[in-house]
């Protein structure tokens, strides 16, 4: 899943794709590099970020979704990264085919019903707190057990709203209200999230917990570190990886997949 942030302030690529034509070109490049899915967002969720109105999110994402839909086959999934059902509905009407909700349907009570009504896959991510304050004091007794418990409950809520089980993807929410040790514990226990019985998505791309381990390099230099997490994700049963750097992660995933199937 290739990331296309249509935001001025995303933590590693903010402001790069303000012009819709430029955004479309970048999306096409990422598809050529081996992406299977595009994920478009009009609101940064980096630590400390403030929420963006639905109107502004729509202004940022809808023109790009429409243009992309004219240029890519219907079979290529396009996901809308938002916690607003209004934005998700408008994006689906414009040509998006998945919902990626970092609040797992908790910010907007209409979201799960929308996914059910439209019959689209929905990503349900774990998050402690809200982006503006979530990194101030993340706290868990047992991070893996709590994340598993929360994701299982959100999956049940989605099923109760009428979403089909094979259209639910669970995501541990790396960096969302988590210290480095919490992120590492979750990466070491991805098989427990897979064991919940739904598809699993992982979003580690360029994230801060890897910077400290890798000598404080800039986020854009964390492609190899991200590939390492993709590799261990594949070996643990994760099937979707949300990344900025497609070519390297595609290689990492393909090699890990080949090894997993040889074992």
| Residues labelled catalytic | 207, 242
Mapped onto helix, strand or coil, the DSSP state of residue 104 is coil
Q: Radius of gyration over alpha carbons of the chain, in Å?
A: 17
Mapped onto helix, strand or coil, the DSSP state of residue 243 is strand
Residue (of 183, 206, 171) closest to 11 by Cα position: 206
Q: Count of H helices and E strands in the chain?
A: 10, 8
201 binds ligand HH2 (CB under 6 A): yes
7 binds ligand HH2 (CB under 6 A): yes
Q: Pick the binder of ligand HH2 from 42, 44, 134, 236 (CB under 6 A).
A: 44
Distance of CA 205 to the CA centre of its chain: 10
- Return d(Cα 12, Cα 221) in angstroms, integer: 10
Binding segment for ligand HH2 (CB under 6 A), chosen from 8-16, 104-112, 177-185, 231-239, is: 8-16
Rounded least distance, CB 233 to ligand HH2, Å: 12
- C-alpha angle 76-77-82 in degrees, rounded to nearest 5: 150
Q: Looking at the chain, which runs of residues are DSSP E strands?
A: 2-5, 38-41, 78-81, 98-101, 122-125, 168-171, 199-202, 240-241
Residues contacting 20, CB < 8 A, separation 6+: 63, 64, 67
Q: Pick the binder of ligand HH2 from 3, 62, 115, 210 (CB under 6 A).
A: 3
Q: Pick the binder of ligand HH2 from 24, 78, 92, 123 (CB under 6 A).
A: 123
171 binds ligand HH2 (CB under 6 A): yes
Which is nearer to ligand HH2, 24 or 240 (by Cβ)?
240
Which is nearer to ligand HH2, 169 or 252 (by Cβ)?
169
240 binds ligand HH2 (CB under 6 A): no
20 binds ligand HH2 (CB under 6 A): no
186 binds ligand HH2 (CB under 6 A): no
84 binds ligand HH2 (CB under 6 A): no
- Return d(Cα 210, Cα 192) in angstroms, integer: 22
Binding segment for ligand HH2 (CB under 6 A), chosen from 3-11, 133-141, 231-239, 249-257, is: 3-11
Q: By CB under 6 A, name the binding residues for ligand HH2.
A: 3, 5, 7, 10-12, 41, 44-46, 81, 100, 102, 123, 125, 171, 173-174, 201, 203, 242
């Amino acid at each position: 899943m290739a990331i296309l942030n249509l935001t001025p302030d995303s933590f590693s690529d903010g402001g790069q794709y303000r012009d819709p034509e430029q955004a479309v070109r970048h999306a096409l490049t990422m598809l050529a590099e081996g992406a299977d899915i595009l994920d478009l967002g009009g609101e940064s969720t980096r630590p400390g970020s403030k929420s963006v109105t639905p109107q502004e999110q729509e202004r940022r994402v809808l023109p790009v979704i429409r243009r992309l839909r004219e240029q890519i086959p219907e079979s290529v999934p396009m996901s809308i990264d938002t916690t607003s059902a209004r934005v998700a509905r408008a994006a689906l009407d414009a040509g998006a085919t998945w919902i990626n909700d970092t609040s797992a349907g908790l910010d907007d009570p209409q979201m799960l019903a929308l996914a059910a009504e439209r019959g689209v896959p929905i990503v349900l991510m774990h998050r402690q707190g809200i982006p503006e304050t979530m990194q101030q004091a993340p706290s868990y007794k047992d991070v893996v057990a709590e994340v598993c418990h929360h994701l299982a409950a959100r999956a049940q809520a989605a099923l109760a709203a009428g979403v089909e089980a094979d259209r639910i993807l669970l995501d541990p929410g790396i960096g969302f209200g988590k210290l480095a040790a919490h992120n590492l514990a979750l990466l070491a226990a991805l098989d427990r999230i897979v064991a919940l019985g739904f598809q699993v998505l992982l979003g580690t791309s360029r994230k801060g917990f890897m910077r400290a381990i890798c000598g404080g390099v800039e986020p854009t230099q964390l492609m190899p570190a991200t590939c390492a997490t993709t590799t261990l994700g594949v070996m643990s049963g994760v099937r979707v990886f949300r990344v900025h750097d497609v070519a390297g992660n595609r290689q990492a995933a393909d090699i890990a997949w080949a090894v997993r199937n040889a074992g």
